[in-house]
A and B are shown apart, each in its own frame.
Chain A
């Protein structure tokens, strides 16, 4: 993408089967990311009627909302969230041109992605930071 990268930051979308999970992880990431200002972050959880599942409409809407022209990183939880984002990327016109599915653990990846994007990291840096969260073992 062209544009002023010092002003435009990578946007982040959190896709979960549950609106409560997506919203809570967004809140957690903001809480742990420091004092801000934060990169744009949007939650796309559950179905439009409030049920458990994945909604391509909510995902597309969230991606548009956080897109500043520097790319959009999508973090997903499981099952249909993964497959829906992959199918949307394959379609080609439902997500911003620099949208990317990031292979990362959902909670840890969200924090790493938001910190990196808020600090001005580009899409590669955000992807790398979120993916590296897999490397931190818990035992």
Chain B
């Protein structure tokens, strides 16, 4: 992508609102599949929980129209924490809110800057949940995505998708799935799958 620098400065508040709207659409579209994955190793509510959370995010972003990328993400994160009801609420809420706080008041940011801020957001998620790479959680999609975002949006999407697929042979070490022990092996992690949707939506609006 030779023209990446010229585009790079143009990730403004509108871009971030479009990202979260696209994420809400993707969650809506895939809610059934997320819940199906969660019924195998979780408590079968991941799809409907995220659907409710992102619908609330879309609604509040339309109403309040925050002016900066940071404000968009902080507002969305807060909304997820208060509406989701399951563990994915505080986790995704922390991801967006911390990323938003890292971006501060900047009116527009570049992809590299976003990659840094998202990295801080992912680190906050890891700290909150006490999880690390390979524990069969959303981190297994988010960590490679952040690393690849330094290269391009498309690379981040592909890395997140691959990361989600790579959770299949892993044994869960966090959350309800960890109670299943070896029986969690052979199932794709719903959190890593929804994380891949989120990063996929980012690549979609950046294209």
Contact = CB atoms under 8 A, between A and B. Distances in A.
Contacts of A53: 45, 49, 85-86
Interface residues of A, number: 16
Interface string A79-93: 110011011101100
B87 A90 contact: no
Interface in B67-112: 78, 81-82, 85-91, 93-94, 97
A83 B85 contact: no
Interface of A, helix, strand, loop or mixed by DSSP: helix
Interface string A46-66: 010001011111000000000
Name, among B45, B78, B81, B129, the residue most crowded by chain A CB atoms within 10 Å (CB to CB): B81
Contacts of B87: 79-80, 83
Given A79-B175, A79-B176, A80-B90, A87 B85 contact: no
B128 A83 contact: yes
B128 A55 contact: no
A56 B86 contact: no
Interface string B33-77: 000000000000100010000000000000000000000000000
Interface residues of B, number: 20
Contacts of A87: 81, 90, 93-94, 128
A55 B85 contact: yes
B128 A80 contact: no
Nearest to A46: B85
Contacts of B85: 47, 51, 53-55, 80
Contacts of A90: 94, 124, 128
A63 to B, nearest CB: 14
Contact of B128 (A51, A79, A86): A86
Interface of A: 47, 51, 53-57, 79-80, 83-84, 86-88, 90-91
